[in-house]
Amino acid sequence: MDEAMHHEDIAPPSPAAPGLFALLAEDVACVFRRDPAARSRFEVVTTYPGVHAILLQRIAHRLWRARLRYPARLLSWFARLVTNIDIHPGATLGRRFFIDHGAGVVIGETAEIGDDVTLYHGVTLGGTSWNRGKRHPTLGNNVVIGAGAKVLGPISLGDHVRVGANSVVVKDVPAHRTVVGIPGRVVLRQDEGAANALGINLDHHLIPDPVGKAIACLMERIEVLEATLRQHGEPVDGVCNACDTDDLCGTEVARTIRKA
């Protein structure tokens, strides 16, 4: 009986982490699922700077963990020189990581990236402190970050988070959310079943416009108030005396907003 209980208390061994070549093969294969322009493995391996940067970083990361810091930094410098992508060798990259186009991407030393993450060009996973501890973001699985977005500080983005282009995220984001703006604000909750068959939602451009929605609501409210004034016999000319004739109130833009 005691022996059986002893065996029950022993946790099963965790599956072995994939080797370097297995990770590299996955990095190449995942390109075909997220970039319709990819035509062959040879083309991806020889012409995709994002793939080059990831391959070299995985090697540099092994050197970094072996405390071969200068060779790791030298290899990282070479990767940045030929790809215009700066990934610190200390950063932890998950499986099937994809950087589309890649120009201007920066990933800091203590950044941690989950599996099946996609970054577009100009993305920064940066720090906001000079402390030597954790100072860069942690991304969950299936995260998509649009072009030019900045994710700053030791914050966490949950699984299936999407960040709109040019957004600046400085606070934690729960799973299945879409974030836009400066500073980034959650504008949409994505249900778990909304992802595609691959578990990745690359439609980071399909995001709501909270400012446009607010303006449309205000315009609709003004029309309701004007109609109420007319019912009470009050004169309403529909012209804003504070605006010039070329301003928003009298333009086609205003009429378009009212129809939105």
> From CA 179, how far away is CA 144, in angstroms rounded?
11
> From CA 137, how far away is CA 134, in angstroms rounded?
8
**pLDDT at position 155, please?**
93
Using alpha carbons, select from 168, 173, 104 the residue that is nearest to residue 140: 173
Cα 9 versus chain centre, distance: 40
Q: What is the pTM of this model?
A: 0.68
44-53, 160-169, 226-235: least confidently modelled range: 226-235
| Domain residue spans of the chain | 15-194, 210-259
Q: pLDDT tens digits, residue range 87-136?
A: 999 999 999 999 988 899 999 999 999 999 999 999 999 988 888 889 99
Q: pLDDT tens digits, residue range 3-53?
A: 444 444 444 444 566 788 888 888 888 888 888 888 888 998 999 999 999
- Helix 20-29 vs helix 49-65: crossing angle, to nearest 10: 160
Fold of 15-194: UDP N-Acetylglucosamine Acyltransferase; domain 1 (2.160.10)
Task: Specify burial of residue 30 (Cβ count, 10 A radius: 0-12, 13-18, 19+).
Answer: buried
Q: What are the angstrom distances between the C-alpha of 14 and each of 6, 11, 17, 18, 113? A: 18, 9, 9, 12, 20
